[in-house]
Structure 1
Amino acid sequence: MNAGRLPFHYGWIIVATGMLCIFACLGLGRFALGMLLPSMSFSLGLSYAEMGFISTGNFLGYLLSVLVSGLWAVRFGLRQLICVALTIAGGSMLLVSFADAFPGVLALYFLTGIGSGATNVAVMAMVSLWFGPALRGRAHGCIVIGSGFAIMLTGTLIPHINATVGADGWRVSWKLLGAMVSLVAALSFLLMRDTPREAGLLPAGSANGEASHHATVAAAPAVNVFRMPRLYHLGAIYFLFGFTYAIYVTFLVTMLVSERGFSEGIAGTFWSWIGFLSLFSGPVFGSLSDRIGRRISLMLVFAFQAAAYLLAGSGLAGGFLWVSIGLFGLVAWSIPSIMAAAVADTVGPQRAGKAFGLVTFIFGIGQILGPSLAGLLAERSGSFSGSFLLAGGLAALAIVLTAFLKRRTCR
């Protein structure tokens, strides 16, 4: 494909392919678990605590891969890393369908996390290279909506498969999802390019032209991102997002089915609405952050999420659940897109991969702790209300922490 002859910048092909990668690695590889857990737990006899540990195992794999994704990207290139990571995720998901006990699911889903983490970091880093600061938030925002499409799909598809196949429907679902992830791995290798220079282009929306781009490249080695306090501040904020959202997306459907008495089909409708509403979250709030700043945008998103979590844990009537789902869905994937743009603003696009790996590692710790603690709390109390209330309180803390974030932009 001749990138220079397209009627639009090839960066938007990178965005579209990146969206498919997020659809696969996070939407199918991570968020589908919430729809699969009720039938899996019944078939395999899983406790609340074991369900939480399965989610935690996935996040642990995610965390470990984030630690080395920067090194892998330098050695193999972003495109090859994405393809291999998605292949690992897809293959392990296929194998989950054959698991017959908790340990097997835990081990295989750990491998899925490794593939998901490496893919996510590499995709975000690639987009930072393809777009200048003026379009970076919008581009990242378009990528993260891949998760929304996956949630819409799984919220409808998985209950249908379970109703058609019966007790082993979850096994068919894992096979189908794994095959889809593997297909995206092949597409990523065909369509993605590591940098605009490979296509003879400058970054889309680059403000200062070629001289600025090369100046950024030349200056890149001068800064050690691991000694930048602002990145750890961003990491702490991202940690709280990881801790809180992971509780919500892991246990919302289980709570609706086991505590509120909803059928799996109705719970799937709730889940699909989250997916639909989330399609607007990344582009809207990513673009908004380009205009009003990353700090104000993050505070606004956390306010929506805090209200959503508190309503889910309140035990109020079903109408309030719809409000909770609406609030969460509208901002669901806003924070990853804003965070990726904020990191690139801070360190510049050439160092964005390593820097985003650092804050994603901190974020991953939150993802590990959130579901495991929520599962243990639910195991002891017999309800997920306390877990959702904890998430709401920590999201409110994130608003306060974000308020102290100072503005900084590196082009």
Structure 2
Amino acid sequence: MKVFYGWRMVGAACGIQFLLAAFLTQALGLYIAVLSDEMGWSKTTLSGAAALQSVEAAIIGPVLGWVMDRVGPQKMIRLGMVLFSAGLLLLSQVNSVTTFYVSAVLMAIGASLGGYFPLSVAVVQWFEKFRARALSIMSLGLAMGGLVVPLMALSMQQWGWRATAAGSGVLVLLTGLPMAGMIRRRPEDHGEHMDGIDPAMRAAAEREGQAVSPLQVEFTVAQALRTRAFWMLAIGHGLALLVVSAVNVHAITHMKEGLGYSVATASWVILIMTFGQLAGVLMGVTMGDWFDKRKVAALCMLAHGIGMLCLTYATSMATLLAFGVFHGIAWGLRGPFMQAIRADYFGRNAIGMIMGLSAAIIAMGQIAGPMIAGVLADLTGDYQLGFSLLALLAALGSLSFMLATKPDHPVQA
């Protein structure tokens, strides 16, 4: 039986997400904890690298969207893998703040060109009926990347962080490029159909009275920008990444300096968070196309806030495990829904540009999260104030998603 090529693309996208998560998203906290000790740099300085990555995403997001809508994803994702590898190799040679920042920007550009945004745009072009399921499976890679954190910590202990970064860069190049070559633009360009369903079969099913997914209403970029849903989704997504980015950058350092755990122990807490994330993604795979994604996202924002408070005021390992479960499940379940909701609302003809403009707004949350936590930690001596503020903002983000109701198409209105 022939396997729909869209699912093969989902597998390749999952593998690329794994590389980015294992060697950047989830590992960044380890590098920051080690560099803080070895280089003596402040938390504000180290947070600046994460902020630079988000600034880069805000600047090039709309450009990427325009390119994706016109050129397609494959060449861009390949270039992303090369730049991401170069950034890791440069990280292994860091001896100053400037070099660290340059390596961070290189990795960020690589992750932007070859990561979540372009992969999501590519996947939504191939799926409609099973869109949430496909995006959730793709996000398994992001979740599974966290499973590597204890191995990364062990590698740093055994061979040092420089060798770990260099080895990661080589692995990205050897495995990322072949997977990037599997990503294609639209099914129609390759003799395929969305979801692998022939339009003639769809019409026959309609004549027989069978339930089929409705025809997609297409928005232009200008029409999407005039809807409340566009802005509420962007704000809610930005508030979610406010917490996610702060946790990725500062959680290990907080557990080490504020709670007195070793880096190795803290990495195991991140592993528990990853299992929670995997559980959330699997929940999305099974139920994502059956429930109101907007309401699920709103509940996940409350869980993000609860998890953040558990991390902030942890008095035992049990409280840290609660953080891992709440934050991990919320991240894994909510994450794939962000692009699925946009594609459901606005169609796929201009989805690259719509997601790119959204990314410019969302990046504000990615920039602010690590900076708020880092600056307030330097001022107060711990992360409690900064993390508490982020927890409150995450909980308020649930209101944004509740307000992001599906818009009527202007022609219909």
Scaled by the length of structure 2, what TM-score is found? 0.90
Give 1:267-306 correspondences, 5 Å limit.
267-285=266-284, 287-306=286-305
Change (3 A) 1:184 1:232: farther
Match of 1:327 in 2: 326
Match of 1:194 in 2: 185
What per-residue deviation string (whole Å, max 9, x for no partner) do you get for residues 318-356 of structure 1? 321111111112222332210110000111122221111
Matched, 1:117 2:112: yes
Question: Equivalents in 1 of 2:147, 2:221: separation in Å?
Answer: 44
The residue type paired with residue 336 of structure 2 is S
Scaled by the length of structure 1, what TM-score is found? 0.90
Residue 391 of structure 1 deviates from its aligned partner by 1.6
Matched, 1:172 2:171: no
Match of 1:86 in 2: 81
Residue 233 of structure 1 deviates from its aligned partner by 1.4
Match of 1:260 in 2: 259
Question: Equivalents in 1 of 2:194, 2:37: separation in Å?
Answer: 50
Match of 1:129 in 2: 125
The residue type paired with residue 63 of structure 2 is V
Question: Equivalents in 1 of 2:406, 2:216: separation in Å?
Answer: 22
Runs of 5+ consecutive residues of structure 2 not aligned to the other structure: 204-213
Change (3 A) 1:188 1:27: same
Q: Is the 8 A contact 2:56 2:105 kept in 1?
A: yes
Match of 1:352 in 2: 351
Match of 1:28 in 2: 23
Question: Equivalents in 2 of 1:299, 1:30: separation in Å?
Answer: 23
What per-residue deviation string (whole Å, max 9, x for no partner) do you get for residues 101-126 of structure 1? 11211122012112212322211001
Residue 276 of structure 1 deviates from its aligned partner by 2.5
Match of 1:62 in 2: 57
Match of 2:402 in 1: 403
Change (3 A) 1:291 1:364: same
What per-residue deviation string (whole Å, max 9, x for no partner) do you get for residues 118-157 of structure 1? 322211001101101x21111111111212221111x222
Change (3 A) 1:149 1:311: same
Secondary structure of residue in 2 paired with 1:7: coil
Question: Equivalents in 1 of 2:158, 2:101: separation in Å?
Answer: 26
Question: Equivalents in 1 of 2:16, 2:317: separation in Å?
Answer: 34
Q: Is the 8 A contact 2:17 2:138 kept in 1?
A: yes
The residue type paired with residue 390 of structure 2 is A
The residue type paired with residue 386 of structure 1 is L
Q: Is the 8 A contact 1:58 1:110 kept in 2?
A: yes
Change (3 A) 1:361 1:347: same
Match of 1:15 in 2: 10
Give 1:208-287 correspondences, 5 Å limit.
224-285=223-284, 287=286
Residue 223 of structure 1 deviates from its aligned partner by 5.9
Change (3 A) 1:310 1:206: farther
Change (3 A) 1:381 1:72: same
Question: Equivalents in 2 of 1:210, 1:360: separation in Å?
Answer: 36
Question: Equivalents in 1 of 2:405, 2:125: separation in Å?
Answer: 24
Question: Equivalents in 2 of 1:63, 1:283: separation in Å?
Answer: 30
Matched, 1:42 2:37: yes
Runs of 5+ consecutive residues of structure 1 not aligned to the other structure: 1-5
Secondary structure of residue in 2 paired with 1:52: helix
Residue 224 of structure 1 deviates from its aligned partner by 4.1
Match of 2:103 in 1: 108
What per-residue deviation string (whole Å, max 9, x for no partner) do you get for residues 30-88 of structure 1? 32101221112212221111121121122222222313101232454211111111211
RMSD after superposition: 2.5
Residue 267 of structure 1 deviates from its aligned partner by 1.2
The residue type paired with residue 107 of structure 2 is T
The residue type paired with residue 230 of structure 1 is A
Secondary structure of residue in 1 paired with 2:31: helix
Q: Is the 8 A contact 2:4 2:196 kept in 1?
A: no
Question: Equivalents in 2 of 1:217, 1:350: separation in Å?
Answer: 10
Change (3 A) 1:209 1:272: farther
